[in-house]
């Protein structure tokens, strides 16, 4: 069975993905996706190389990003689609986050060191990669390389995930700023993976409503690895808030099959697909009514 032709959430080595932008686009094309977006965390660095690769493979690529933001003290992610990567307002929003990531990485390093994990050695490995966007994923991979965890999942469980010393909160700008920067760059803002935040059902609905009120366009309804119930819950959130629906695998690594590009549930016909403005072909992944 072929997967979705649309995948609007993907990561490359410009942030915490394992494939370089051109290799990622080649992989996405191989998976049968015809409209994709590169949405690296807090950067637009991979977009030029990705665009060239998309032209070479004959698939459509939207310039995107995934901004870290804060809502009621929690971190939430805002995907920006069809952004102008040269927008000065967006550049300023990215610069704030890049700086915050570097100082936070040093805090993560120190916290890991204090609890007996090789934080300094991990940070040295990360710095050697030359990344401008240090994430907890980088720490997870470095801890695995140093033998402090068996795999990245366990590194999160033990050191970096919720309630663990390396889960350092960053002072991300708030959601309205993130949406505003995306809109100022001519793009459309999509609330990423709404069910991944630890929020009550009521607070989640308030987040979706507020996201819409500050200028957001859509919400992710089908994400990689989502169960039918989760897709149904996210569909309800979209309909209630008057948000369009987006779909994205959030692929970081081609070795993880549940995040395979295009392997996504179909959007309910009741939800307006956010990609109607970029791909009008009817077979672009909407379930029949």
Site string (33-72) toward ligand AMP, x via CB under 6 A: --------x--------------------------x----
Task: Determine the interface stretch with ligand AMP among 149-157, 185-193, 219-227, 263-271 (rule: CB under 6 A).
Answer: 149-157
Task: Tell me: does residue 111 bind ligand AMP (CB under 6 A).
Answer: no
Does 131 bind ligand AMP (CB under 6 A)? Our answer is no
* Contacts (Cβ under 8 Å, ≥6 apart) of 21: 12, 13, 14, 38, 46, 47, 49, 50, 53
Nearest to 75 by CA among 47, 102, 105, 97: 97
Q: Tokens 């934080």 — which residue?
A: 119
> What residues from 76 to 95 belong to the interface with ligand AMP (CB under 6 A)?
none
Helix, strand, or coil here: 265? coil
Sequence-distant (6+) residues with CB within 8 A of 61 are 25, 35, 36, 37, 38, 50, 51, 53, 54
Q: Which 11-30 positions form the footprint of ligand AMP (CB under 6 A)?
A: 16
Site map (CB under 5 A) of Mn ion, residues 70-89, x = contact: -------x------------
Residue 68 φ/ψ, nearest 5 degrees: -80, 135
250 sits near Mn ion (criterion: CB under 5 A): yes
Beta strands 35-38 and 6-7 are parallel
- What's the token pair of residue 256? 């993880």
Q: Of the candidates 12, 13, 43, 137, which one interacts with ligand AMP according to CB under 6 A?
A: 137
Interface with ligand AMP (CB under 6 A): 16, 41, 68, 135-137, 152-153, 156, 161, 252
Interface with Mn ion (CB under 5 A): 16, 66, 77, 192, 250
């Amino acid at each position: 069975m072929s997967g979705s032709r649309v995948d609007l959430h993907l990561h490359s080595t410009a942030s915490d993905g394992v494939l370089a932008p051109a290799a990622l686009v080649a992989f996405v094309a191989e998976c049968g996706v015809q409209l994709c977006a590169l949405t690296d965390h807090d950067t637009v660095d991979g977009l030029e190389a990705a665009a060239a690769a998309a032209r070479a493979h004959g698939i459509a690529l939207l310039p995107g990003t995934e901004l870290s933001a804060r809502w009621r003290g929690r971190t939430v992610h805002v995907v920006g689609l069809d952004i102008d990567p040269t927008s000065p307002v967006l550049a300023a929003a990215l610069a704030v986050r890049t700086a915050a990531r570097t100082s936070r990485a040093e805090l993560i390093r120190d916290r890991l060191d204090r609890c007996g994990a090789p934080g300094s050695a991990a940070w040295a490995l990360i710095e050697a990669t030359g990344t401008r966007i240090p994430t907890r994923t980088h720490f997870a991979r470095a801890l695995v390389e140093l033998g402090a965890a068996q795999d990245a999942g366990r590194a999160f469980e033990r050191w970096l995930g919720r309630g663990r010393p390396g889960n350092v909160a960053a002072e991300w700008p708030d959601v309205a700023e993130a949406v505003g920067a995306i809109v100022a760059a001519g793009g459309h803002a999509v609330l990423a993976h709404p069910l991944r935040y630890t929020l009550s059902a009521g607070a989640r609905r308030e987040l979706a409503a507020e996201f819409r009120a500050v200028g957001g366009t859509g919400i992710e309804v089908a994400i990689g690895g989502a169960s039918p119930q989760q897709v149904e819950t996210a569909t309800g959130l979209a309909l209630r808030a008057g948000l369009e629906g987006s779909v994205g695998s959030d692929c970081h690594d081609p070795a993880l099959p549940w995040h395979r590009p295009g392997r996504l549930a179909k959007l309910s016909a009741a939800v307006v697909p956010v990609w109607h403005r970029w791909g009008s072909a009817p077979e672009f992944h909407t379930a029949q009514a």
